[in-house]
Structure 1
Amino acid sequence: MSYIITPDIVRYACTCGLLKPISNLYFCRYCTQLRCSFCVCHEVDTNFCGKCSENIPSSEARVKKNRCGNCYICPCCEQELSTRIASTKTLSDTEDTKTTPKKMYYLSCQFCRWSSRDVGIPDQSTVTGGWPERENVHANQLQELVDMYKAIVLAQKQQQEKDKKKQRGKYLSYTDRTGVTAAALRKRIGLPAELTHPLLRSKPKEPEPAVAKTEVEKLPIELFTEPINLMDITTVDQRLLQPEAQPTTVDKLFPVHKQLSIKRTLRCKSCEHNVSKPEYNPSSVKFKIQLFAYYHIPEVRIVTVEPLRAGQSCELILKFTNPSQHQTTITILELNLEQQEVEEAEVAPSFDNMENLSLQEKQQMSLPSMLSQPSSLMSMSTRSPTITVKPRKISENVNCDVDVPSSTFILPPRDDAAEYDDSGDTHNIQDDTKLVKWRKSNKAYVKLNVTPKEDLGLNSDVVCGFTMQHVYTNTITGQMDKKEPQKYDHKVKVFLHLGKLVGSE
């Protein structure tokens, strides 16, 4: 039997409506929903260099423009540069005629054979650094622009704070009750009457505006008289790799600092729990939290399928695998795309939308009333912020009907040792022989009958689908009094691409 394991053959419907293979989906155990990469929050956990495996704080990475200070990549092919050793002879201090070898280091690319010697970079006496950096001729102008925009941002923030103080002017402050204002306090301790940011005290110099020129320098005569050698001209990718210089010829290419890599933490948008969190160590490929759907949702694979003919019933053999540590019961239901369940979460009221609340609700959410009623304060702190997510309509063209079986089948829990045990299974399960053809360990081979629609043309793609309902055992309980795992039915829409339609007999 040959297994079809192409990712696009079997796809699952995510909660947001997108179709993804099971290897690209996550399963949130708290809200018990499937999540794809588009319906989770991506957060940067750590920044590190993929070559030297050094963790770099986010503040330092921002200063270094998200690049490593010790590792370089090739400016031609963007591969990692390696340090090579070259020995040179130097005169000894004692005897003029005697020479001693000295180790020198240079950068070389093992892929395209580019080296730092090709552009005239001198060899260094140490391995870890000292490589000269190309100066940016527009550094001063860029710094002036940065200072000017920083001053504009600070001025906007101060204006917003003044507007907030005017709105709160009708309430008495503690300084007004005591008769001592903030200006009097500053005067008493010897500070100036008004404090502003250093960037706002002296207005930064605005950069000189660009002036259009009517006369343009003439092109060099060599462009018209000498043939062009494309091997000496840089490509667009090579120029964009160094935007501050944008060299036009290959003899002006300098080594580029390697860009930093990140480790991402994925968080569910509805309950804000982590579905994926990696280890802090850059050299580790393990995860602290890995709620992948592959470890919780039964996997479906196509084993065999008969030749597909329009209007004729064909036999389809599917393989169901239970990846969890708990026994599950699978029921195959009919797929109904017209009646999709849309669950909109309630958005918790916050202090940002107080203008939309009534006077009574504002009084209940005020701080003195919360302090007098501890129960309301506890409920406000434990309420998880939710986001209203409207799933999109599934746009899969299903053109094949599936005969839904009336019986169910059971999948035992996963047992890694059973893969190497040929003595036989010990599970005494009474299966429907018309549905389950063969089973071993946590796997079962199920037979289904599919019928392509009669109006399909030759070589058309045949797509069928069904709803898989399985019993999920949730080991994480939300309430403290319920310590036993909770079991409930979880439904997943599965779509199968069976292949091309062949002609009739």
Structure 2
Amino acid sequence: MSYLNQPDYVCYVCNCGSLKPISKIYFCRHCSKIRCGYCVCQEVDSHYCPNCMENLPSSEVRLKKNKCSNCFKCPCCFQTLSTRAGHVPLRVAPADGEDSKDVKTTPKKVYYLSCSLCRWTSRDAGIPDQSMATGGWPEQENPHTSRINALIDYHKILASIEKQQSERKKFRPKHPYMQIAMFRITSAMVRKHIGHPTKPTTESTDQPSPAVASTEVEELPTDIFTEPVEITKITTLEQRLQQPDVQTENVNELRPQHRQLLVRRSQRCRVCEHNLCKPDFCSQSAKFKIQLAAFYHVPEVRIVTCEPLRPGKSSELLLKFCNPTQHQTQVVLLPLDTPMTPILTIVDEKEEVKQDNAQQESESPNLLPSIVRQVPVVEETKPIRIIANADVVFPQNCLILPRRDDAAEYDDTGDTHNFQDDPKFVIWRKGNKAVIKLHVTPHENIKENNNQPVVIGFVMQYRYVNTITTLEHKAPQKLDLKVKLYLTIGNIVGSA
């Protein structure tokens, strides 16, 4: 996993201005634009346990406090605990007429929790063994349970009173007794309404006593400076934070904790509100119902090699382009100042249609107006801080990439498409991949000792076939989309 720490040498510019690699962006087929993590909203589809893979509804997750009731994690190393079986001798009382000295022992099967990593067991913490493997392990009581429950009940009462007041403002009945019957109010409020004195005892019990800050601190034990400290018997800070209600100091007082639940989430476009990534509902499945990652729709660009870079001198740069779609595409490299307006055409070449501005607006054409839909939240465009400090000579020809064919990866016969490529531009081709050669000239103001990388930028225009049928366009469409790229190709090596 060392590649995760490497910098992103090829970055795509999102519509919000963020620079991300192709592995961290999505492509919205309805907006025909790329979306980064800031341009999508996260939604929770389901909750599941990572150990037993059990799906739980949201209502049950709240009751269980986002924890699995069957799986536990080790309090020392936080790995999943497994249930082990053991045998303990069980004494059998002698029958009538037998000598009391002849006591028989029979083995009894018991179960306990064990960690296969750090060898911690529930017997080390003094937890009694269970006769059933399904559970029944004793729960560690929170010493502040009564205080927490009192605060929760008190705030529930406050929330209900605020809700009643807001509902009372919306609808005011003429008869006062109708108001008492319609809204759920406490007995103290009814007594006050009919004129009876309220009970002071009930008011004092409803409101919990406020917390009082104290400046007194418990004194340290007298043997803290004389007794040697055994680090293996003292809990670490991470172990204590896993049990915030108790925060035990000794290792033998640690108790197993329930395994926290995980969520399967989906990503949705903030503009058109269509799903970009939606996993399967089954927690054991690794498949996706919808997977609109950019590397499935946008051509991928990789840096193959580059000659040593010197200020003011031309160097050869080899780039590899890959077509991930099932349709043939053509790629054209343009300067950075090229307008980013896409061009729309119909797949049927007998009829050419001009650019449809309504198709490329933020609203998707296949969504009917509805009051249920939320207002689109668009991420503000961020300024691009990276600056290109090298000139690139762009070729006049377009690069044609065939459709993706999985069987072509194992074909050693070579290219069978017979494209009329310029050998000065396209130097290698196989399947849906091709390598082109560009000439890069770094600016002369770049110095060798300042460790400033050489960055080039260009606009990649590619042909995308949109197979989504809408009310306006029932046939597949061809879109000439554009995306900005910034490539970090290396550092200055010095003048020759």
The question of a shared fold, defined as TM-score above 0.5 by the shorter chain, is answered with yes
308 and 130 in structure 1: CA distance in 2 versus 1, 3 angstrom threshold? same
2:382 aligned with 1:392, yes or no? yes
2:488 aligned with 1:500, yes or no? no
Name the residue aligned to 1:62.
Answer: 62
Aligned equivalent of 1:449, options 439, 455, 461 = 439
379 and 35 in structure 1: CA distance in 2 versus 1, 3 angstrom threshold? closer
> Helix, strand or coil: the match of 1:117?
coil
Name the residue aligned to 1:225.
Answer: 226
431 and 280 in structure 1: CA distance in 2 versus 1, 3 angstrom threshold? same
> Helix, strand or coil: the match of 1:38?
helix
Alignment map for 1:424-463 (pairs within 5 Å): 424-458=414-448, 459-463=451-455
Q: What CA deviation, in whole Å up to 9, does each residue of 1:377-431 have, x standing for no partner?
A: x755698843343211111132222222221111111011111122233313212
Displacement of 1:494 after TM fit?
Answer: 1.3
* Preserved contact between residue 340 and residue 483 of structure 2 (Cα < 8 Å): no
Name the residue aligned to 2:152.
Answer: 146
Q: How many residues align?
A: 453
Displacement of 1:97 after TM fit?
Answer: 4.1
Normalised by the length of structure 2, the TM-score is 0.84
Name the residue aligned to 1:330.
Answer: 331
Matched letter for residue 478 of structure 2: K
In structure 1, stretches of 5+ residues that fail to align are: 167-180, 349-377
* Preserved contact between residue 13 and residue 492 of structure 1 (Cα < 8 Å): yes
Matched letter for residue 492 of structure 2: L
Displacement of 1:451 after TM fit?
Answer: 1.4
Q: Greater share of helix residues, 1 or 2?
A: 1
Aligned partners of 1:214 and 1:327: how far apart in 2?
A: 75
> Helix, strand or coil: the match of 1:106?
strand
- Say which is worse superposed, 129-138 or 420-429, in terms of deviation: 420-429
Matched letter for residue 332 of structure 1: L
Matched letter for residue 54 of structure 1: E
Aligned partners of 1:330 and 1:214: how far apart in 2?
A: 72
Aligned partners of 1:261 and 1:12: how far apart in 2?
A: 31
Aligned partners of 1:137 and 1:221: how far apart in 2?
A: 26
Q: What CA deviation, in whole Å up to 9, does each residue of 1:355-398 have, x standing for no partner?
A: xxxxxxxxxxxxxxxxxxxxxxx755698843343211111132
Alignment map for 1:292-331 (pairs within 5 Å): 292-331=293-332
415 and 214 in structure 1: CA distance in 2 versus 1, 3 angstrom threshold? closer
Aligned partners of 2:312 and 2:4: how far apart in 1?
A: 24
Aligned partners of 2:24 and 2:128: how far apart in 1?
A: 48
* Preserved contact between residue 87 and residue 101 of structure 1 (Cα < 8 Å): yes
Alignment map for 1:98-137 (pairs within 5 Å): 98-137=104-143
Aligned partners of 1:438 and 1:277: how far apart in 2?
A: 37
Aligned equivalent of 1:473, options 453, 465, 481 = 465
Aligned partners of 2:239 and 2:160: how far apart in 1?
A: 37
346 and 446 in structure 1: CA distance in 2 versus 1, 3 angstrom threshold? closer
229 and 441 in structure 1: CA distance in 2 versus 1, 3 angstrom threshold? same
Displacement of 1:486 after TM fit?
Answer: 0.6
* Preserved contact between residue 90 and residue 101 of structure 1 (Cα < 8 Å): yes
2:244 aligned with 1:243, yes or no? yes
Matched letter for residue 288 of structure 2: F
Matched letter for residue 10 of structure 1: V
Name the residue aligned to 2:276.
Answer: 275
Aligned equivalent of 2:476, options 472, 485, 496 = 485
Q: What CA deviation, in whole Å up to 9, does each residue of 1:206-237 have, x standing for no partner?
A: 22123344654432112122122222221221
Name the residue aligned to 1:360.
Answer: none
2:34 aligned with 1:34, yes or no? yes
Displacement of 1:134 after TM fit?
Answer: 0.7
Percent identity, aligned pairs only, is 51
Name the residue aligned to 1:195.
Answer: 183
